[in-house]
């Protein structure tokens, strides 16, 4: 109301979440229709060379479906008006779980970053040493007296991250449970921000994922690439999924959960992708999972090609495990189910890219433009526009949190030109691992 007692005019039109979803969906379908029309000659030419079935598989997997996804992402990001999370008069007690395996070099700094949070509510931190073979246990024992909120659980045998978290969960005292990786560093105010977001989100929210950023980005070109992936792509995807009521992965690296909901779904499942399978269990139970874009945690990412490929194999295998363990989630009538079906398309897209686009690049170098040619080059401006939009949104978020986007030109160059050439084939290997039931190994990421 204004001073005259009259209702003040709105500066913008309110759109409910369902309305934003419908607008984004209609826009993406319209773009896909245009793409199908524009790709007619390309598809006809490719049919002549490889047959109709393979041509459709490749064209739709390389261009049409990814184009639909990119259009949906772009429109959704433009419509996303994320409400602020206000400060609280009193902050609830939280319990933190830190599962550690061979983290002698980083666990002390992780604890220092937790202490520097100065979280304004009761705090319990449980470090679970999962049978480390280095000096992780000695480091934690040495600093334990320094932190009155610290509880140490020392497991003598390595059993995997899920088992370690479930054992630590038995020591939890409070109703909000935060998980943090043992090689990570919490940025200032991260704990308060993620709790504020959790309490400000819709009442059926039972988990909120924080924002993960790369801590060791200056190490080499591999970590520089990943700096862009986490800042750029992963953050935007979580933002859009949260807008539509269902972030699909409350990652173990930094998320907050409701203790009772964790008990209800049975805690962390013993599998490669324990965090995604747990998140889907919460979604299947009817709960909402959110995302806090300004609760930042910096973590160490793989620094060698072998480690990076193994990580993305695990991620792909974890998604497959989630489908196997929770197939009924596909029948849940809610907006987040859209993204479950979206994930169902990833094996097709990754395989089309691996067996089509990569060989197509090599063929184009010799003058054969059947797969990679003028039509695929025409997709570059649209991809660039989406990338620019993601960048501007995340840079604005950085500014609010006091962070500055680093001038990582080399990393961006490799991210744009080489990243997918490595990671989509790695994802295909992950699907095959699960398909053929290859032995499972637990990593830290």
User: What are 165-186's pLDDT values in tens digits?
Assistant: 999 999 999 999 999 999 999 9
Q: Is the pLDDT of residue 356 over 50?
A: yes
Residue 345's pLDDT is 94
Residue 56's pLDDT is 94
**Each residue's pLDDT tens digit, 313-346:** 999 999 999 999 999 888 888 888 899 999 999 9
Residue 443's pLDDT is 53
Q: What is the pTM of this model?
A: 0.89
Residue 232's pLDDT is 83
Residue 11's pLDDT is 46
Q: Mean pLDDT, to the nearest integer, of 7-36?
A: 82
Confidence of residue 363 (pLDDT cuts 50, 70, 90): confident
* Adjacent-strand bridge partners of 289: 207
Residue 282's pLDDT is 95
CA–CA dist 214, 296 (Å, integer): 10
Contact 412, 388 (CB under 8 A): no
CA–CA dist 175, 79 (Å, integer): 33
Cα dihedral across residues 252, 258, 260, 261: positive or negative? negative
Q: Is the pLDDT of residue 3 over 60?
A: no
Average pLDDT of every residue of the chain = 89
What share of the chain in percent tops pLDDT 70?
Answer: 95
- Of 17-26, 120-129, 236-245, least confident by mean pLDDT is 236-245
Q: Is the pLDDT of residue 1 over 80?
A: no
Residue 385's pLDDT is 82
Q: Is the pLDDT of residue 213 over 60?
A: yes
Residues 6+ apart with CB under 8 A from 439: none
What share of the chain in percent tops pLDDT 90?
Answer: 62
Residues 6+ apart with CB under 8 A from 343: 248, 319, 323
Confidence of residue 12 (pLDDT cuts 50, 70, 90): low
CA–CA dist 314, 429 (Å, integer): 9
Cα dihedral across residues 283, 285, 286, 291: positive or negative? negative
- Of 53-57, 76-80, 162-166, 415-419, least confident by mean pLDDT is 415-419
Confidence of residue 441 (pLDDT cuts 50, 70, 90): low
Q: Where in the chain are the domains?
A: 14-81+201-445
Q: Is the pLDDT of residue 414 over 90?
A: no
Contact 211, 190 (CB under 8 A): no
């Amino acid at each position: 109301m204004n001073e005259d007692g009259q209702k003040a005019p709105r500066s913008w039109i309110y759109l409910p979440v369902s309305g934003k979803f419908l607008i984004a969906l209609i826009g993406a379908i319209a773009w896909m229709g245009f793409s199908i029309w524009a790709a007619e000659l390309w598809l006809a030419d490719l049919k002549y060379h490889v047959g109709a079935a393979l041509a459709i598989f490749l064209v739709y997997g390389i261009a049409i479906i990814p184009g639909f996804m990119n259009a949906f992402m772009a429109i959704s990001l433009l419509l996303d008006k994320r409400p602020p999370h206000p400060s609280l008069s009193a902050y609830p007690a939280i319990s933190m779980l830190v599962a550690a395996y061979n983290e002698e070099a980083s666990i002390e700094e992780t604890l220092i970053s937790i202490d520097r949070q100065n979280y304004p509510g009761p705090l319990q931190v449980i470090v679970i040493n999962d049978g480390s073979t280095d000096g992780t246990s000695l480091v934690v024992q040495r600093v334990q007296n320094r932190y009155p909120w610290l509880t140490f659980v020392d497991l003598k045998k390595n059993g995997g991250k899920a088992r370690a978290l479930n054992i630590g969960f038995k020591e939890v005292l409070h109703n909000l449970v935060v998980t943090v990786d043992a090689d990570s560093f919490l940025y200032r105010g991260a704990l308060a921000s993620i709790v504020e977001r959790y309490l400000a989100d819709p009442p059926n929210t039972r988990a909120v994922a924080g924002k993960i950023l790369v801590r060791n980005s200056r190490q080499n070109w591999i970590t520089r690439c990943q700096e862009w992936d986490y800042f750029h792509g992963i953050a935007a995807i979580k933002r859009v999924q949260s807008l539509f009521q269902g972030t699909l992965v409350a990652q173990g690296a930094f998320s907050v959960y409701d203790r009772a909901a964790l008990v209800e779904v049975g805690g962390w499942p013993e599998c490669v992708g324990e965090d995604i399978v747990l998140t889907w269990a919460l979604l299947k139970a009817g709960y909402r999972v959110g995302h806090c874009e300004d609760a930042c945690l910096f973590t160490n990412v793989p620094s060698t090609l072998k480690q990076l490929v193994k990580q993305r194999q695990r991620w792909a295998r974890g998604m497959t495990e989630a489908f196997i363990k929770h197939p009924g989630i596909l029948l849940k009538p809610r907006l987040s189910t859209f993204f479950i079906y979206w994930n169902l398309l990833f094996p097709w897209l990754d395989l089309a890219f691996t067996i089509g686009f990569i060989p197509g690049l090599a063929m184009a170098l010799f003058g054969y433009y059947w797969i990679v040619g003028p039509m695929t080059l025409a997709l570059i401006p649209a991809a660039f526009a989406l990338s620019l939009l993601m960048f501007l949104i995340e840079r604005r978020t950085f500014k609010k949190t006091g962070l500055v986007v680093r001038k990582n030109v080399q990393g961006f160059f490799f991210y744009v030109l080489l990243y997918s050439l490595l990671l989509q084939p790695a994802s295909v290997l992950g699907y095959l691992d699960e398909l053929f039931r290859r032995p499972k190994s637990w990593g830290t990421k």
